[in-house]
Structure 1
Amino acid sequence: MLSVATVNHHTASLDVREKISVAENELDDLLVRVQRHLGPTAIISTCNRLEFYTTGTENLEQLTTYLQQETHMNEIEVQDYFRIYQGESAVRHLYRVSSGLESLVIGEAEILGQVRTAFAHAADSGVDDSMLVRLFHGAIRAGRRVRSETSIGHRSVSVSSIAVQKIRDHHNDLQKANVLIIGAGEAARLIAESLVEQDVSQIYVANRTQSRAESLAKELDGIAVQYSNLMEVVNDVDVVITATGAPGTLINFEEMNKTIQFRQNTPLLIMDIGLPRDVEPRVSDLPNVTYFDMEALQEIAAENGKARAQEIGAAEHLIEEELKEFSVWLENLQTQPTIASLSARSEKIRKDAVEKSLRRLHLDEAQQDEIDALTRAIVKRILHDPIVALREYGNQDTHYVEVVHKLFGLNDEFPSLTDLSVSDQPEDDRL
């Protein structure tokens, strides 16, 4: 049974999400642990969601028990903060996620890449479960269609863009502002690029890895600063933006309290979009310090969602189309291995017989090709009715599958769907 357990910005506060957040360098180890308990699993981990997609458990109790163990939550907390979907509901949820409909900022583009990354991590860990593979292929295709066939992706917004909007709303003159960006990942880069468009006075970049800070600063025509001198730079800027996702607090209350003593009442705006948060939220109690985290962006995000109501309807229609495609594939999942096995066995018998006859007949190449084509056509016509019947009845009654196996002497073990040739898969699924 396909299941997904999700904790996200709809179900849990930022305080809860940051406690169970997974750093990028921890994801591979988490996958190993999860698959040891739940079987084939893929994990989506972003600043606003942590989701486990698995086909390895039929028992919801087993899944919730493992979530308690992994997240160090009790049973009531897991029930309060996690939502669990199974079957078609799980498929629909991932399709909505990949299309940006479940994002904090409706229609944001980054999530599709994050879904791809989750699938790649799962594949690298050895997951080749046919249902998970088909699920993520379908989700990526649904996300692509929503972005290309609806207007939801035409006015692209993101967490980074609304963060800059929030900063602009609370700073009188960004063109005169000196800005420090802490972090050099994708979120930091997107914010930095938006700030360049606002023509800020100066951008400073700090990162634990100095070379990455220097690289981003060079792209922005900014200045890379030493990470060890972080608070000295904070003392000289008007805006601080943090987006590291690193464990632990980078700027705590005590450090900031000391720093503001030297700022002579100059206002400081801090935008913290890290998960876990990079800055201790208590700094907002200090004079002349304005602090925003991800939850402060909810109001702007909600307004964006209302403005896109019509686009959301069009996207949901496409998702339902893609969901039907998955349902058809799922219905054929039971019979497809038998059809593949029947076709493979028939082709082997045909090929062996033709080769044996051709060795005796001494025909020229054109005659050999004619016989080969003729025998292929005969086998195809013979198999047509059994295959049609299998597809029509075999998914409702396994007796039909068993009868075909006995009548045609097929192997007891079905071939894996992942062993089928690429040509047997829908063209859009060949990623």
Structure 2
Amino acid sequence: MHMIVVGLNYRTAPVEIREKFAFAEQDLPEALRQLQATKSILECVIVSTCNRTEIYAVVDRLYMCGYYIRSYLERWFGIPREYMKDYLYMYEDQPVIEHLFKVTCGLDSMVIGETQILGQVRDAFLRSQEEKATGTIFNRLFKQAVTLGKRAHAETAIGENPVSVSYAAVELGKRIFGHFRSKTVMIVGAGKMSELTLKHLTGQGADRLLVVNRTMAKAEELAERMRGTAVPMEQMLEAMKQVDVVISSTGSADYVLVKQQIQRVMTSRKSRPLFMIDIAVPRDLDPEISKVPNVYLYDIDDLQLIVETNLNERRKEAVKIEAMIREELASFDQWFKLLGVGPVIQALQEKANDIHRETMDNLMLKLTDLDEREAKVIRKLTKSMMNQMMRDPILRVKELAGERHGDQTLALFTDLFALEARVADLKAEAAKLQDELKKAGDAAKEDHVFSGGKLQERSSKLKLPAGEMLAGS
């Protein structure tokens, strides 16, 4: 079995292309069912966000699987493959694992260290489980990836240095005043950026907030949610006489405030300074405003230094996370290589137990004068001899299975001990139990995703760890 991911993201495709390949939330169940039905795909997960669309799959062979997935995308979105070829990337086997780990840790995001993608990947995984689209491999891989993402943010400071422009504007104001308590802040605009800015402000203790917008209803709605006061656009200059900080973020193509207006405002402020921060592109505030005495104007370029400083801090933390990823890669790689060992070892142990039982039965028929205690001693000693004989071969085959050409080693081991029939029976039984669990819907329950649930109980019948019901298949 192999793993593959085919996708596009903010690095490979502009937003006008990404939106063409976005899966609608309500369509994902059917999209997963059609993807499962695609040739050679055994397990699959679809991750679809504003910045990426990625299809992860466990396949029975690598040859042609990229072609099959691209054909699926062509059918689903109605877009010719010639159109998408310049935007798609594809990774196979270990690079798939490394890529997924970087995604959940926020290292592959547009804003390094952001946490939203972790929840999005987790939701995508759970949805695939609900649709019975995952199995042994992805149950293990995605659980490990989500756990690693949580650990990366818990054990490093990668999320402690915000890097949004709205945050930088508030951080600049805090550096000027030290705090926002007792300061009056005016936000010009009621869009997403203004909302984020207000959230940062309230997080820093600001409690005197004014919201100005051309559409009064939007200003009132945002002000109500943020416990501020809405101000009509025509009253903005009058209200500005009592303001300490103005942060402007509108979608206007022209300047919202110009030098002459601010000059009139400053005549009634008695030299009290006014700090103005322009986070709009194109700019809302006329650059000439900076020439007005006691007015301090900053634009988005001035904020980039703060953003870049915090990004550098996040990059330092990313180095620590990359070390975590290397450890997790080694762990998953070892687990994956040992997937086929379980049935082989179990088959060997069962064969040895059968031989021991038959030998003891024959011995008891020939030595009829042995009492119960003597028979028990003989049984215990012969069992110990058998276990000691098997111990080194079992340890050795585990080691060899994790090395290069491990599949060939397992095949040779199976042949030497004549275990072919037993191994085949164990795999068939494991597949049957896995199918029963899927039909029962146990895999759709979140607590069983991460704890094993009934899967642990049923898998104990085969002496296999939870999540390895199809080991070696």
Q: What SS does the aligned partner of 1:40 have?
A: strand
CA distance change for structure 1 residues 98 and 149 in 2, over 3 Å: closer, same or farther? same
Distance in 2, matches of 1:44 and 1:201, equals 41
Deviations 1:81-101 (A, max 9, x none): 221111111111011111111
Distance in 2, matches of 1:71 and 1:83, equals 17
Q: CA deviation at 1:31?
A: 1.9
Distance in 1, matches of 2:104 and 2:223, equals 32
TM-score, length-normalised on structure 1? 0.64
Counterparts of residues 151-162 of structure 1 (less than 5 Å): 151-153=157-159, 155=160, 157=162, 162=164
Q: What SS does the aligned partner of 1:410 have?
A: helix
Q: CA deviation at 1:321?
A: 1.7
Q: What SS does the aligned partner of 2:90 have?
A: strand
Distance in 1, matches of 2:355 and 2:195, equals 60
Pairing partner for 1:175 from 185, 188, 194:
185
1:118 is aligned to 2:124: yes
Tell me if structure 1 keeps the 8 A contact 2:104–2:117. yes
CA distance change for structure 1 residues 237 and 190 in 2, over 3 Å: closer, same or farther? closer
Q: CA deviation at 1:128?
A: 3.8
Q: CA deviation at 1:156?
A: 5.6
1:164 corresponds to which residue?
A: 166
1:36 corresponds to which residue?
A: 37
Amino acid at match of 1:328: Q
Q: CA deviation at 1:408?
A: 7.6
Amino acid at match of 1:410: R
Counterparts of residues 355-394 of structure 1 (less than 5 Å): 377-393=384-400
Distance in 2, matches of 1:189 and 1:166, equals 14
The runs of 5 or more residues in structure 1 that have no matched partner are: 205-230, 242-261, 272-282
Q: CA deviation at 1:119?
A: 1.9
Q: CA deviation at 1:353?
A: 9.3
Aligned pairs, number: 357
Counterparts of residues 339-418 of structure 1 (less than 5 Å): 339-343=345-349, 346=352, 377-393=384-400, 395-397=406-408, 399-404=411-416, 406-407=418-419, 410-415=422-427, 416=430
Amino acid at match of 1:3: I
Pairing partner for 1:79 from 76, 82, 85:
85
Tell me if structure 2 keeps the 8 A contact 1:179–1:202. no
Pairing partner for 2:57 from 31, 54, 59:
54
Distance in 2, matches of 1:322 and 1:23, equals 32
CA distance change for structure 1 residues 407 and 170 in 2, over 3 Å: closer, same or farther? closer
Amino acid at match of 2:217: V
Counterparts of residues 138-149 of structure 1 (less than 5 Å): 138-149=144-155
Counterparts of residues 302-321 of structure 1 (less than 5 Å): 304-321=310-327
Q: CA deviation at 1:50?
A: 1.8
Counterparts of residues 194-273 of structure 1 (less than 5 Å): 194-198=200-204, 199=206, 201=208, 233-234=217-218, 236=220, 263-264=233-234
Q: CA deviation at 1:141?
A: 3.6
Distance in 2, matches of 1:269 and 1:287, equals 10
Deviations 1:236-263 (A, max 9, x none): 578899xxxxxxxxxxxxxxxxxxxx94
Amino acid at match of 2:3: L
Q: CA deviation at 1:339?
A: 2.0
Deviations 1:243-294 (A, max 9, x none): xxxxxxxxxxxxxxxxxxx9449699668xxxxxxxxxxx65477498679x
Q: CA deviation at 1:29?
A: 2.8
Distance in 2, matches of 1:177 and 1:79, equals 44
Tell me if structure 1 keeps the 8 A contact 2:348–2:419. no
Tell me if structure 2 keeps the 8 A contact 1:405–1:412. no
CA distance change for structure 1 residues 168 and 402 in 2, over 3 Å: closer, same or farther? same
2:101 corresponds to which residue?
A: 95
Q: CA deviation at 1:66?
A: 1.9
1:215 corresponds to which residue?
A: none
CA distance change for structure 1 residues 354 and 48 in 2, over 3 Å: closer, same or farther? farther
Tell me if structure 1 keeps the 8 A contact 2:46–2:55. yes
CA radius of gyration, larger in: 2
Distance in 2, matches of 1:124 and 1:115, equals 14
Distance in 1, matches of 2:51 and 2:372, equals 69
Pairing partner for 1:331 from 333, 337, 348:
337
Q: CA deviation at 1:403?
A: 0.6
Deviations 1:148-203 (A, max 9, x none): 444435x164xxx7263266489998734488688xxxx99988753531436569
Tell me if structure 2 keeps the 8 A contact 1:107–1:156. no
Distance in 1, matches of 2:132 and 2:210, equals 42
Q: CA deviation at 1:72?
A: 3.5
Deviations 1:64-88 (A, max 9, x none): 2222333343324422222111111
Tell me if structure 1 keeps the 8 A contact 2:459–2:466. no
Distance in 2, matches of 1:142 and 1:125, equals 24
The runs of 5 or more residues in structure 2 that have no matched partner are: 177-182, 226-231, 237-245, 258-278, 283-299, 435-457, 468-473
Q: Percent identity?
A: 23
Q: Which stretch shifts more, 370-379 or 99-108?
A: 370-379
Distance in 1, matches of 2:359 and 2:17, equals 67
Tell me if structure 2 keeps the 8 A contact 1:3–1:84. yes
1:8 is aligned to 2:18: no
TM-score, length-normalised on structure 2? 0.59
Instruction: State the Cα RMSD in Å.
Output: 5.0
Distance in 1, matches of 2:254 and 2:123, equals 40
Counterparts of residues 14-33 of structure 1 (less than 5 Å): 14-33=15-34
Amino acid at match of 2:144: G
Q: What SS does the aligned partner of 2:113 have?
A: coil
Q: What SS does the aligned partner of 1:42 have?
A: strand
Distance in 1, matches of 2:136 and 2:353, equals 24
Tell me if structure 2 keeps the 8 A contact 1:99–1:144. yes
2:291 corresponds to which residue?
A: none
